[in-house]
Structure 1
């Protein structure tokens, strides 16, 4: 990361000169002043759970999210000791926890963020990145905030090394789609677009209108019209334990979908939810998983 001199940054601009006090602008547009290297760090997003695991000693963490232990969603399952509290955005519990810096998501309840700030808690609202460069910049920014710039740069360098070493080159324009159990797919306004771009494939619904979650409704008729070469289905669906398997069988056995190239050629895959939903450094594993699945290589 190139260090130019001083201070205030945009949402994805790496901080420069990690000397305290620091002033950084968060995703809400708030300037957050960090007076000294944080000794007590509270994580309220799975992104920060995953990134901070690589950056700081466990002793500096006053809490992580309950999702850190969730086998469906987390890439750091069983990596944090049970002595670190698992805590949601409970204002009273956070105040008792006394963090020097708290990382929250840009969808966190604004009234709770306002209460915490009014009580003197330094809250940094993290943006949602949509490109690999933005993810790398955000990891480096978190590293700067917690005073671990070198470790953050090493994480980014390892991401780049893994991609360079393990990505299988592709010269075919495979049309790929993710299709979930409520009948929608991800557009270009999503990390799925990033995964496909970096894996070397075309998102069949890239040009579709997206809702605020980056999703577009996808009827069977539209799915048939798109006729993707490859389909990715969820490996976890809320409800029954085997709900994802039932959904996969439902799609593959649907008489209306039997002529889809993806089904005819056996190119229907279930992607681990922890990889499908991450936007931390583990996005590299997501990219490699998709790349290797489509090109017939063993997934990492």
Structure 2
């Protein structure tokens, strides 16, 4: 009888182990991906050629390599499925290419309509937002953390010392650099086909917009000066300057020198430029900035009394999510800048943001 009980207990244990392994396998299958390679398996040397990177295939269980925007090579056993994004631009790219089910947390600005293209519903679906804080990030048990090149080297080292796989994303200054940002992150997320499809849609929309804007002869292009809450913005060579060119708008802030300490032109230089339009900010970023009050102050400023933008009351709000775009939504940004300056070219009305 004692032997029979032992056999029964052994059989029950065996059944329990089999059931446990089955449930574990099912959980892995539903997730569709496993944890990325641990820190010691990563290679942080610069990528010399595309042959150094093994792209992801269609199988979520297939290992692959990808480089981040600084050239560091990351090795993944499978597609990451607990991704933490700490920048609003990478929030948007990952939401489109990886999908919310693979995101463990968005950045602190996610869902703010004045800076983010994510809706509150998008954020609610993921359920978490996180600051750029190593302890808070580690507590989410991510298999991929996406940070910015503006993040300090110490923070990067801290995250990696915790055994986390860290991807560094750049801050583009041109449309082509933005395409590269999208491509690199999409490949790291293990979504090569979705990435190429998105880039194709971006290029098609930009080509369509360019065809529309060709109706404006070069000598009839309008000059605009854009303002942030602290003054004129859009220095030469920055992303906003590049977007103004794509929108066939002359960026007044990039036409005069020297620039001030903060890279801005002075009030006297704005008068010298005499722009056709002022592009006004909308983001109450510190909860103490009133866009409407700011607009009134510009309109009532005696220094601007004879500036064409004020005389003709051509002062148009352009959302800060377009000004400071950091994702594939650069196309939406250029479209909306063009619409603000050349509304007559858009008889259908204001362009709607697209995925």
Give the structure-1-normalised TM-score: 0.86
Instruction: Pick which of 44-53 and 182-191 moved more.
Output: 182-191
Q: Aligned with 1:125: secondary structure?
A: strand
Matching residue of 1:130: 173
Instruction: Pick which of 253-262 and 83-92 moved more.
Output: 83-92
Larger RCO of the pair (alpha carbons < 8 Å, separation 6+): 1
Separation of aligned partners in 2, 1:125 and 1:242: 31
Pairwise CA distance, 1:277: 1.2
Matched, 1:140 2:188: no
Matched, 1:154 2:202: no
Instruction: Pick which of 179-188 and 244-253 moved more.
Output: 179-188
Preserved CA contact (<8 Å) 1:8 1:25: no
Separation of aligned partners in 1, 2:235 and 2:313: 23
Q: Number of residue pairs matched? A: 288
Aligned to 1:187, which of 220, 235, 238? 235
Preserved CA contact (<8 Å) 2:55 2:66: no
Matched, 1:164 2:212: no
Preserved CA contact (<8 Å) 1:39 1:60: yes
Q: Aligned with 1:103: secondary structure?
A: strand
Matched, 1:50 2:92: yes
Unpaired runs of at least 5, structure 1:
1-6
Q: Aligned with 2:201: secondary structure?
A: helix
Unpaired runs of at least 5, structure 2:
1-44, 58-62
Pairwise CA distance, 1:264: 2.0
Matching residue of 1:17: 55
Preserved CA contact (<8 Å) 1:232 1:268: yes
Pairwise CA distance, 1:81: 2.9
Aligned to 2:297, which of 220, 231, 250? 250
Preserved CA contact (<8 Å) 2:115 2:321: yes
Separation of aligned partners in 1, 2:197 and 2:260: 35
Give the structure-2-normalised TM-score: 0.74
Matched, 1:100 2:138: no
- Cα deviation, 1:204-230, whole Å, max 9, x if unaligned, reads 222546689xx5232221111111122
Q: Aligned with 2:309: secondary structure?
A: helix
Matching residue of 1:75: 117
Higher alpha-carbon Rg: 2
Preserved CA contact (<8 Å) 1:191 1:279: no
